[in-house]
């Protein structure tokens, strides 16, 4: 099976000498939902820019479904859809015209494009706004329009650069469900995001890029499995005045009714429950502490800096 | 291109987008030249013109008509492409094109078609306005007139494109039209025949490329010219070739559009 994306020893040095990519290599399987994470300035947008022909590479190769983006650029481009980080459509045109025009750039006639555009705009709740000038849309709808534009030629690989930045929670959830659906229907998706919860919720595999180098490229499950310590949040039935001291389990009192405990991989959570029971502390409910990925991410980026 | 419908559709889409753009803002693009040229015809044609007398054996307003049409065609073709291409760079909607499979030559051609359509449409509007002031005007050589009209429009659309490629700010797209194009057009025989100038200034005027464009167009419309027609047409075609090559080279290199 061909990789949806195969990057080999990709380097980019900008005029002025900034070395954004120092020879990254990564591959993404067909049908995957892949997260590319990294702090600001790590090289994510340069990588996406090179894949989408918006940035000129210094060296290395990029293949989309085994087609080299340099040797057969038109074919590679027809298989790729990119949702850029910044709004990149004419704000003075109507929503429907923007999407139909984008289809035309991919060689899809207006007659052929119109039913597709209607379908995509309806799925993204933009159909009612089709005759509005794009500048009158709210930020969230502009993001949806970016996605509609990237999907109109039915690409096999969709890359989204921070698609939910600045989008409210409800809309973010809607977009997640939309992306999950198109991934289920066969589109390979790569996304960069600052919301690590988003990557954890959506993606099966993950690459972490920092200072122009790949510092991790693995499955989300393995990566999370490599966490030595997991945080658990306990909602208590009765208030406490101070955190209990239990040997081997660092615990802090978040508020009088909430405890947060760190449980290392070699310890059982049952043992913690036993200890809490012995102290007469009754637990009403328990959940994983959010941002497990965030801990790992910070850990990896910090160790790379060292 | 016949064998590649995708490219044909892409080019058609871009050209229609460009034409739709200047038609959408018709108050800014189509009306001002009609108003400005009406004022030229009123002041220089109807009021001052009769006192000037004849130029090259023609009524002054009649002599002026081809020059004013050419002036409008040049500025509008240039401005259309420079402002449109710089805007797509500025708004980043250039990414829509760069990310698509459209070859660079279709991108260039799409913008040039937009510039030519606006230039030709404005030329036609100014011609209609001129007929209100000089109804008896007849075109001597329609084929040469249309040929020069189209070639001039293509040439200045290409110049506008190159200006936009290098532009980094909105100031950069107004410097050349204001400080280079306009003076050259005004001194390029729009309002007078260079034969009325002293010999030295006639020689200097012949270094002005606008003279060749305006004079050749006047030859087509009125049958009078200050320059050799074949030489002028050769120069226009030569520059079109040169600027097309330069534009494609810069597009392929990604200058000003790719990081």
Q: What is the pLDDT of residue B106?
A: 95
Token pair 């100031």 is at which residue? B171
Distance from CA of B166 to the nearest CA of A (A): 16
Q: Which residues of B touch A108 (CB under 8 A)?
A: 9
Neighbours of A178 (CB within 10 A): 16
Token pair 């005007």 is at which residue? B137
Q: Are residues A57 and A190 in the same domain?
A: yes
Give the integer Cα–Cα distance in Å for B160 and A104.
Answer: 25
Q: Are residues A120 and A94 in the same domain?
A: yes
Q: Which residues of A touch B102 (CB under 8 A)?
A: 105
Contact (CB<8Å) A107/B103: no
User: What residue ranges of chain B have pLDDT lower than 70?
Assistant: 1-3
Angle at A213 between CA A88 and CA A218, to 5 degrees: 90
Contact (CB<8Å) A107/B7: yes
Which of A187, A207, A224 is the endpoint of a domain? A224
Give the integer Cα–Cα distance in Å for A23 and A7.
Answer: 9
Give the integer Cα–Cα distance in Å for A241 and A257.
Answer: 9
Q: Which residues of A touch B5 (CB under 8 A)?
A: 107
Q: Which residues of A touch B103 (CB under 8 A)?
A: 74
Which of A201, A224, A247 is the endpoint of a domain? A224
Q: Are residues A179 and A237 in the same domain?
A: no
Give the integer Cα–Cα distance in Å for B37 and B58.
Answer: 19
Give the integer Cα–Cα distance in Å for A230 and A262.
Answer: 6
Q: Domain containing A252: what range?
A: 228-305
Neighbours of B92 (CB within 10 A): 16
Q: Which of A15, A36, A16 is nearest to A26 (CA)?
A: A36
Mean pLDDT for the stretch of residues A13-17:
87
Q: Are residues A243 and A261 in the same domain?
A: yes
Find the CATH number of the domain harbouring A284: 3.30.70.1560
Q: Are residues A206 and A268 in the same domain?
A: no
Q: What is the pLDDT of residue A208?
A: 86
Give the integer Cα–Cα distance in Å for A106 and B99.
Answer: 10
Q: What is the pLDDT of residue B2?
A: 46
Stronger pLDDT, A28 or A254, i.e. the higher one: A28
| A244 within 8 A of A251, measured Cβ to Cβ | yes
Handedness of CA B81, B85, B91, B93 (dihedral sign): positive
Neighbours of A112 (CB within 10 A): 13
Q: Where are the beta strands (DSSP E) in chain B?
A: 54-55, 58-59
A80-99 residues touching B, CB cutoff 8 A: 80, 82, 84, 86-92, 97
DSSP structure class, residue B181 = I
Q: Would the pTM of this model clear 0.95, i.e. be above it?
A: no
Q: Are residues A55 and A127 in the same domain?
A: yes
Q: pLDDT tens-digit profile of B1-14?
A: 445 778 899 999 99
Contact (CB<8Å) B9/A108: yes
Instruction: Report how many domains make up chain A.
Output: 2
Give the integer Cα–Cα distance in Å for B194 and A272.
Answer: 100
Contact (CB<8Å) B101/A73: yes
Contact (CB<8Å) A52/B95: yes
Q: Which residues of B touch A107 (CB under 8 A)?
A: 5-7, 9-10, 101
Tokens of B30: 């189509």
Which of A176, A204, A224 is the endpoint of a domain? A224
Q: What is the pLDDT of residue A12?
A: 92
Q: Taking all residues of chain A, what is their mean pLDDT, rounded to a whole number? A: 86
Which of A78, A90, A149 shows the shortest C-beta gap to B101? Answer: A78
Stronger pLDDT, A165 or A77, i.e. the higher one: A77
Contact (CB<8Å) A107/B93: no
Q: What is the pLDDT of residue A113?
A: 92
Distance from CA of A298 to the nearest CA of B (A): 29
Q: Are residues A251 and A104 in the same domain?
A: no
Q: Are residues A20 and A155 in the same domain?
A: yes
Which pairs count as long-range contacts for B26-35, CB under 8 Å and 24+ apart, including other chains?
B29/B76, B29/B80, B29/B118, B30/B121, B30/B122, B30/B125, B33/B72, B33/B75, B33/B76, B33/B122, B33/B125, B33/B126, B34/B125, B34/B126, B34/B129
Mutate which of A105, A131, A160 to disrupt the B interface (most B C-beta within 10 Å)? A105
Q: pLDDT tens-digit profile of B34-43?
A: 999 889 888 8
Q: pLDDT tens-digit profile of A47-76?
A: 999 998 889 999 999 999 999 998 888 899
Residues 6+ apart with CB under 8 A from A236: A256, A257, A258, A259, A281, A282, A283, A284
Q: Which residues of B touch A82 (CB under 8 A)?
A: 95, 99
Which of A56, A74, A86 shows the shortest C-beta gap to B258? Answer: A56
Q: pLDDT tens-digit profile of A160-192?
A: 988 877 777 778 888 888 899 999 999 999 998
Tokens of A165: 């930045």
Q: Which of B159, B87, B86 is nearest to B116 (CA)?
A: B159
Distance from CA of A40 to the nearest CA of B (A): 18
Q: Are residues A185 and A297 in the same domain?
A: no
| A135 within 8 A of A146, measured Cβ to Cβ | no
Query: Which residue ranges make up each domain of chain B?
Result: 5-253
Report the 3 state secondary structure along chain A: CCEEEEEEEEEEECCCCCEEEEEEEEEEECCCEEEEECCCCCCHHHHHHHHCCCCCCCEEEEEECCEECCCCHHHHHHCEEEECCCCCCCCCCEHHHHHHHHHHHCCCCHHHHHHHHHHHHHHCCCHHHCCCEHHHCCHHHHHHHHHHHHHCCCCCEEEEECCCCCCCHHHHHHHHHHHHHHHHCCCEEEEECCCHHHHHHHCCEEEEEECCEEEEEEEHHHHHHCCCEEEEEEEECCCCCCCCCECCECEEEEECCEEEEEEECCCCHHHHHHHHHHCCCCEEEEEECCCHHHHHHHHHHHHHHC
Q: Which residues of A touch B97 (CB under 8 A)?
A: 105
Mutate which of A107, A134, A145, A158 to disrupt the B interface (most B C-beta within 10 Å)? A107
Mean pLDDT for the stretch of residues A102-107:
93
Q: Are residues A213 and A294 in the same domain?
A: no
Does residue A266 surpass a pLDDT of 80? no
Give the integer Cα–Cα distance in Å for A27 and A97.
Answer: 35
Contact (CB<8Å) A104/B12: yes
Q: Where are the beta strands (DSSP E) in B40-128?
A: 54-55, 58-59
Q: Are residues A290 and A275 in the same domain?
A: yes
Q: Are residues A214 and A126 in the same domain?
A: yes
Residues 6+ apart with CB under 8 A from A293: A196, A197, A199, A200, A220, A223, A224
């Amino acid at each position: 099976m061909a990789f949806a994306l195969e990057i080999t020893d990709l380097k980019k040095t900008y005029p002025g000498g900034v070395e954004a990519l120092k020879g990254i290599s990564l591959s993404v399987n067909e049908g995957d939902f892949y997260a590319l994470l990294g702090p600001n300035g790590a090289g994510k947008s340069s990588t996406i820019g090179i894949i989408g022909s918006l940035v000129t590479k210094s060296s290395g190769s990029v293949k989309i479904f085994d087609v080299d983006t340099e040797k057969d650029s038109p074919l590679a481009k027809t298989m790729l859809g990119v949702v850029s980080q910044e709004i990149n459509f004419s704000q003075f045109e109507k929503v429907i015209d923007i999407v139909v025009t984008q289809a035309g750039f991919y060689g899809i006639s207006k007659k052929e494009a119109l039913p597709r555009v209607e379908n995509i705009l309806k799925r993204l709740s933009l159909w009612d706004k089709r005759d509005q000038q794009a500048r009158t849309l709210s930020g969230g709808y502009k993001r949806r329009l970016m996605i509609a534009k990237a999907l109109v030629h039915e690409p096999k690989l969709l890359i989204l650069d921070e698609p939910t930045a600045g989008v409210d929670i409800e809309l973010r959830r809607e977009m997640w469900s939309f992306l999950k659906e198109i991934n289920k229907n066969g589109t390979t998706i790569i996304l960069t995001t600052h919301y690590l919860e988003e990557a954890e919720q959506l993606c099966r595999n993950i690459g972490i890029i920092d200072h122009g180098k790949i510092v991790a490229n693995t499955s989300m499950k393995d990566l999370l499995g490599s966490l030595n310590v997991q945080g658990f949040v306990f909602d208590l039935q009765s208030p406490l005045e101070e955190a209990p001291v239990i040997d081997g389990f660092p615990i802090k009192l978040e508020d009088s009714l909430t405890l947060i405990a760190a449980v290392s991989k070699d310890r059982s959570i049952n043992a913690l429950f036993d200890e809490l029971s012995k102290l007469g502390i009754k637990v009403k409910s328990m959940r994983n502490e959010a941002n497990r990925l965030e801990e790992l991410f910070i850990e990896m980026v910090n160790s790379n800096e060292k | 291109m016949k064998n590649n419908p995708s490219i044909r559709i892409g080019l058609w889409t871009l050209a229609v987008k460009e034409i739709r753009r200047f038609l959408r803002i018709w108050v800014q693009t189509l009306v001002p030249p009609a108003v400005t040229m009406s004022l030229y015809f009123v002041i220089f044609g109807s009021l001052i013109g009769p006192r000037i007398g004849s130029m090259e054996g023609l009524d002054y307003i009649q002599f002026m008509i081809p020059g004013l049409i050419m002036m409008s065609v040049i500025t509008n073709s240039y401005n259309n492409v420079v402002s449109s291409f710089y805007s797509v760079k500025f708004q980043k909607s250039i990414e829509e094109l760069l990310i698509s499979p459209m070859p660079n030559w279709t991108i260039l051609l799409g913008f040039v078609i937009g510039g030519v359509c606006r230039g030709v449409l404005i030329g036609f509007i100014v011609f209609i306005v001129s007929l209100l002031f000089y109804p008896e005007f007849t075109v001597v050589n329609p084929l040469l007139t249309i040929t020069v009209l189209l070639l001039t429009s293509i040439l200045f659309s290409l110049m506008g494109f190159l200006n936009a490629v290098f532009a980094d700010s909105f100031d950069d797209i107004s410097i050349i039209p204001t400080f280079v194009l306009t003076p050259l057009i005004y001194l390029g025989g729009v309002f007078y025949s260079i034969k009325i100038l002293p010999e030295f200034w006639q020689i200097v005027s012949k270094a002005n490329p606008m003279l060749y464009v305006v004079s050749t167009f006047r030859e087509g419309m009125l049958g009078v010219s200050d320059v050799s027609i074949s030489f002028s047409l050769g120069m226009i075609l030569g520059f079109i070739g040169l600027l097309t090559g330069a534009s494609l080279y810069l597009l392929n290199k990604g200058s000003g559009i790719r990081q």
